[in-house]
Amino acid sequence: MNPKVRLLTSKQLDNLLLSGKPLEKALSNLKLINTLFGNHKQLGKAVIQYGKSTPSKKELYIVDLGCDSGDCINYIARKLKKF
């Protein structure tokens, strides 16, 4: 597997008709992968670092496209509340 190459095949979560147990399992697996690889922490650190580097900004807007379950953006939101 080459992480520099984007797969052109559809992911299971790209199927808008996916529901029930298969959807729950796919989202659970994705959350586990994000947690194990530290995606949440890395993104959280980057956002907080950006916030610290631009203290004059009162608000920060973040758009998470293709966020699947939204667990990553929720993690960042919790971290920003502490910031």
pTM score, whole prediction:
0.60
Spell out the alpha helix ranges (H) of the chain.
20-37, 39-53, 71-82
- The HSE-up count of residue 28 (CA atoms within 13 Å, CB side) is 6
At 20 the pLDDT is 92
Strand, helix or coil at 19?
coil
Instruction: Break the chain into its structural domains and give their ranges.
Output: 40-83
User: Per-residue pLDDT tens for 11-36?
Assistant: 777 788 889 999 889 888 888 888 88
At 30 the pLDDT is 84
Question: CB count, 10 Å around CB of 63?
Answer: 6
